[in-house]
Amino acid sequence: MAYWSPGPAREDAVSPLLSIRDLQVDFRAEAEPFRALHGLSLDVERGRTLALVGESGSGKSVTAQAIMRILPRSAAITGGRITFAGARSGERPIEIAALPADGTAMRALRGRRMAMIFQEPMTCLSPLHTIGDQVGEALRLHTNAGRREADAQAREAFASVGFPDPERALHTYPFELSGGLRQRAMIAMALIMRPDLLVADEPTTALDVTTQAQILALLARLQDETGMAILLITHDLGVVANMAHDVAVLYRGRLVESGPREAVMRHPRHGYLQALIRAVPRFAMRPGERLTPIRPVDAVIPVRAPPPRPVGPILRVEGVMKSFALRSGRFGGALRRVRAVSDVSLAIEAGTTLGLVGESGSGKTTLSKLVMRALAPDAGRVLFDDGAGPADVHALAGAGLFAYRRAVQFVFQDPYASLDPRMTVRQILCEPMEIHGIGTAARRARAAELMAMVGLDPAMLSRYPHAFSGGQRQRIGIARALALEPRLLVLDEPVSALDVSVQAQVLNLLKDLQAALGLTYLIVSHNLAVIDYMADTIAVMCRGRIVEEASKAALFRDPAHPYARALLAAVPDPSLDHPLDFAAVSGDLSDPSAWPAPFRLGEGEAGTMHALEPDHWVRHGAPGMMRAA
């Protein structure tokens, strides 16, 4: 068995920590075998971060799994070498690709010399075991440490990844933690054995933007402290620009470009990377500049006479409140009320886009549901004006409500879960028209027209959703929303589930549809670059309140509120000229009582909106509260 690579041991520091040569991975499939990696060659240098970039299906996760030898059972390494040189002196290089995947030699490497963190920290931790148990486990597996020793080391690991109370963390379950702390726990688990190589597979994709910045800062700091190498897998060029020393770009299982970050990002040579860089929404885009999608769509949008415009705004939200009852504590504890939306007021002019930004839990989705009348507010009104004067949405009944349902449509975040897999695309597109009593012939004609409007071939109407890619499905979702010729579309994170290479395509389509059909958009997102690209006016939400509202230009030029500033500062920009300030992202700015004066809000205090300039509003606390606090 060739456990050890041939040749003498090399102790020179110039050999890379991990080197991959001509790696080939095949998947067994029903029809024909599928080759995920075609002869990939890569080097991960000691103490450096190599970013592996590509869209989904490019083979970047497969590469990580091959290195760790945790490929799914249907996949196998069918050629090439993965050589782990190790960072310790006097060590012989180990030929990973030749080891049995679950053998002792490979298991001694996994978790000890090379560790891995994953995208979804919730599902990657067992909900039934404390994180203290799961973090200390790696230590107990690889050394003969007992429970007490493992606990002590785990406590240290929790402290080094920034847990506020490491002792308590030992006895905490994953579901008691926020997403950021869960990912910190994963990092503690990976690093407790001080591995030479950390494989991070989209470690911040599932996190909020400020949390993402904190986790990236943490990884950079830990790398400085331990000298480990990081293989960072990501599709986010902003993350690449801020984290990587070296960059490798994968496309369909082949390496298309690699080199030091400066060279690759500033002067991309390969057409795919050039296209990818042009397709990503970023700050500092020129007004009116369009993204260039990698795969453009040819949408045929019929031009219609614009619908009657209302005198005032098409949608006005006035002092809306919504709270939910939460059951807390053990085994039937007391009910706790949580304010999801408190005293929110907004207005959208017809034909414009309002962007609602905030982190998870800020209440933006609840607000969009209140607008949809999927939830009823505890107080306040939602007024909709289709040209015949404003009407209170939550007082509508009968024909008025039926008409409102037609005028306001929703586009969902997840294009996989939002299309019924048992219905053909034609059935999906026709269902809203069926409900609203449009005749069969008209329905069929409209379905074909809708497909063309979102750039899909009407010949595909009789296919089922599984035949389409994520981006195509999202376009079907948009076509469904357009079926009834609505006036207002509520877009809840319309591209956050999509691959970066098709986001531009969907965003451009939405812009074109708005221009041609005079649509009004309420777009909800945590991605500031997307909001920047799409919105005319932006409202920043935190803890159920709008803390700042301004035109796009004013907000990005001169954000006033500390929370808005923190959000903007935390977005990793793909341009190398605007690096993240890791030192600035350490604090938690979502707590209103910790904001500096005059923004500080006491417990339950609403504060008031102050005009900084026309169309630029920011929330201030009461002066009395400032003295008290």
Partner 1 sequence: MIGAILRRLLTMALTLLVISALVFLIIKLPPGDYLSNRIAELRAMGEAGSVAKAELLMRQYGLDRSVPEQYLMWLGLMPGPAGFSGLLQGDWGWSFEYDRPVAEVVGDALWLTLVVNLAALVFVHAVAIPAALYSATHRHSAGDALVTALGYVGLAVPGFLLALILLFYANRWFGLSIGGLYDAAYTGRPWDGDKLRSLLAHLVVPTLVIGLGGTAAMIRRMRANLLDELAKPYVVTARAKGMPPLRALLKYPFRMSLNPFVADIGNLLPHLVSGSVLVSLVLSLPTVGPLLLEALKSQDQFMAGFILMFVALLTLVGMLISDLVLVWLDPRIRMGKR
Q: Which of 457, 450, 470, 458 is nearest to 517 (CA)?
A: 450
Give least dist CB 310 to partner 1, A: 42
Which residue, 182 or 620, has its beta carbon nearer to partner 1? Answer: 182
Give least dist CB 49 to partner 1, A: 19
Report yes or no: 230 and 200 within 8 Å, Cβ to Cβ.
yes
Which residue, 126 or 586, has its beta carbon nearer to partner 1? Answer: 126
- d(CA 347, CA 111) in angstroms, rounded, equals 53
Cis, bond preceding 598 (omega within 30 deg of 0): yes
Which residue, 102 or 591, has its beta carbon nearer to partner 1? Answer: 102
Which residue, 154 or 506, has its beta carbon nearer to partner 1? Answer: 154
Which residue, 18 or 109, has its beta carbon nearer to partner 1? Answer: 109
Residue pointed to by tokens 């048992």: 422
Write out the residues near partner 1 by the rule CB under 8 A. 68, 70, 102, 107-112, 115-116, 118, 120, 123-130, 137-138, 141-142, 173, 175-176, 186, 189, 327-333
Give least dist CB 189 to partner 1, A: 7
- d(CA 244, CA 238) in angstroms, rounded, equals 10
SS (H, E, C) 249-263: EEECCEEEEEEEHHH
Report yes or no: 619 and 545 within 8 Å, Cβ to Cβ.
yes
Residue pointed to by tokens 């996949």: 75
28: Cβ contacts below 8 Å, ≥ 6 apart: 74, 75, 76
Which residue, 142 or 194, has its beta carbon nearer to partner 1? Answer: 142
Give least dist CB 17 to partner 1, A: 18
Report yes or no: 317 and 367 within 8 Å, Cβ to Cβ.
yes
Which residue, 58 or 65, has its beta carbon nearer to partner 1? Answer: 65
Give least dist CB 447 to partner 1, A: 36
In terms of DSSP bridges, do strands 488-492 and 520-525 run parallel, antiparallel, or are they unpaired?
Answer: parallel
Q: Which of 353, 352, 380 is nearest to 366 (CA)?
A: 380
HSE (side-chain half, CA atoms, 13 Å) at 484: 23
Report yes or no: 393 and 404 within 8 Å, Cβ to Cβ.
yes
Give least dist CB 67 to partner 1, A: 11
Give least dist CB 176 to partner 1, A: 7
Give least dist CB 118 to partner 1, A: 6
Give least dist CB 70 to partner 1, A: 5
Which residue, 68 or 222, has its beta carbon nearer to partner 1? Answer: 68
301: three-class secondary structure by DSSP: coil
Give least dist CB 122 to partner 1, A: 9
Q: Compute CA distances 53 → 232, 245, 248, 504, 506, whole Å.
A: 8, 13, 6, 17, 21
- d(CA 528, CA 417) in angstroms, rounded, equals 24
Give least dist CB 145 to partner 1, A: 14
Q: Compute CA distances 21 → 16, 101, 200, 229, 252, whole Å.
A: 12, 18, 20, 18, 17
- What radius of gyration, in Å, describes the C-alpha atoms of the chain? 26
Distance of CA 438 to the CA centre of its chain: 38
Give least dist CB 120 to partner 1, A: 6
Which residue, 129 or 610, has its beta carbon nearer to partner 1? Answer: 129
- d(CA 62, CA 254) in angstroms, rounded, equals 12
Q: Which two tokens stand for residue 86?
A: 């190790």
Which residue, 107 or 405, has its beta carbon nearer to partner 1? Answer: 107
Which residue, 102 or 615, has its beta carbon nearer to partner 1? Answer: 102
Which residue, 142 or 252, has its beta carbon nearer to partner 1? Answer: 142
Q: Compute CA distances 538 → 461, 546, 559, 609, 625, whole Å.
A: 37, 10, 11, 15, 28
* Type of residue numbered 551: S
119: three-class secondary structure by DSSP: coil
